[in-house]
A and B are shown apart, each in its own frame.
Chain A
């Protein structure tokens, strides 16, 4: 069975997280759950990967964190996308568009 190579996906973890944050602020587990659901269980992001992406992007100014108490009374760290984050996402989108277009030319199914 094919599984996703972590080397390849690594460059796109940030993009996936930012994509989800475009819809509004969210917290760690919710994001990891959505990634799993949207990818139809084909990609499960590790907790450490997710957290390191959060800290990296926060440092770069793409996201901001804030505390909020959830409905069940739990205090959680929420993340929201910044203007720089949106710009960065746009760049990544264009980059991916180009990348997949280029790489696609070299892909064919061998029967």
Chain B
């Protein structure tokens, strides 16, 4: 049955996504399914049944005029998009996952950059050592982390270079691949949600150690240790957030390869996610989450008003809701 479904989907993949075409597809699918079932009941093997059903399918050319797709059928050779193989798709998902993981480590290292200096300060204050050695160590640590982060970013850029064609060339995926992607994407969803929640919590509550320690003692050293914990929390939190969206992005990139104007663009539920009517809003919403995180961190670190800066999260949620209801619209559905 799967083979028949794949056959039908591939026959229709490049046709315009109209009601007539959808209806034709579902009707033909129904007839094929009925026929297949009866052949199986008659004792045919799966292979035989599939063979008969497909050979009796006929030719879509016959439907061209009734469906008003004569133009689209003749235009097909020009817009022929290369079909990605299953291996390519899996390789891209794993490459992209690895690249995002590396990026998240790089970002975490960047956030950790102040830690060596605070630690050095701690050592100097707490152990009353000389300044020179701790600072030399701190600077070394700083540059090692910075160099590592830059190396990671550069390597990633080079590694992902070969996948640029996904965005540049006309490529598409078939129904079986889309189905596979949808399944793994659904399977990953709950894990990602946990990662996201923990990441956000770490970022939101990173100031707690500083605040608690600050209220308990006036001593500088514990306060600085609190600050180190703060950077650790933010670093790990951001790393988790970056990772949480990682695979999802790879799946979406692949699932969006098919043009939504064709039947093939219908393989995905993710097409039904919110789209924005205004291109500026669309761009803005693309960077909405990172922007809010950025504002939150900048505001908090510049003013140290941690007791109030969390308010930005509920405000952001309200703003997102307002923007979605003003400019957003649900995309096409299956």
Contact = CB atoms under 8 A, between A and B. Distances in A.
Contacts of B60: 48
Given A28-B27, A44-B56, A49 B62 contact: yes
Contact of A47 (B31, B38, B66): B31
Given A33-B38, A48-B62, A28 B57 contact: no
B98 interface: no
B80 interface: no
Interface stretch (A51-59, A84-92, A99-107): A51-59
Contact of B58 (A27, A48, A55): A48
A30 B28 CA distance: 13
Contacts of B27: 28, 51, 54, 77
A32 interface: yes
B193 interface: no
Contacts of B85: none
A48 B63 contact: yes
A76 interface: yes
Interface in B40-97: 56-60, 62-63, 65-67
Interface in A32-66: 32-33, 44, 46-52, 54-56, 59
Given A28-B27, A52-B66, A77-B27, A47 B58 contact: yes
A29 B34 contact: yes
Contact of A32 (B31, B62, B67): B31
User: Interface size bucket, A side?
Assistant: 20 to 34
A50 B66 contact: no
Contacts of A29: 30-31, 34-35, 38
Contacts of A48: 28, 57-60, 62-63
Contacts of A49: 58, 62
B62 A76 contact: no
Given A33-B38, A55-B66, A56-B66, A50 B31 contact: yes
Question: Considering residues B30, B38, B65, which has the most beta carbons from chain A within 10 angstroms of its beta carbon?
Answer: B30
B34 A47 contact: no
B100 to A, nearest CB: 43
Contacts of B38: 29, 33
B242 to A, nearest CB: 45
B99 interface: no
A47 B24 contact: no
Given A29-B30, A51-B24, A76-B30, A46 B35 contact: no
Contacts of B35: 29, 32-33, 47
Contacts of A54: 27
B295 to A, nearest CB: 51
A51 B56 contact: no
A28 B66 CA distance: 17
Contacts of A30: 34
A3 B266 CA distance: 40
Interface of B: 20, 24, 27-28, 30-32, 34-35, 38, 56-60, 62-63, 65-67
Interface of A: 27-30, 32-33, 44, 46-52, 54-56, 59, 74, 76-77
Given A50-B31, A51-B28, 19 more contacts: A29-B30, A29-B31, A33-B35, A33-B38, A46-B58, A46-B62, A47-B31, A47-B57, A48-B58, A48-B60, A49-B58, A51-B24, A51-B31, A52-B65, A55-B20, A55-B66, A56-B66, A59-B66, A74-B30
Shortest 7 CB-CB contacts between residues of A and residues of B: A46-B58, A48-B58, A29-B34, A28-B31, A55-B66, A48-B62, A29-B31
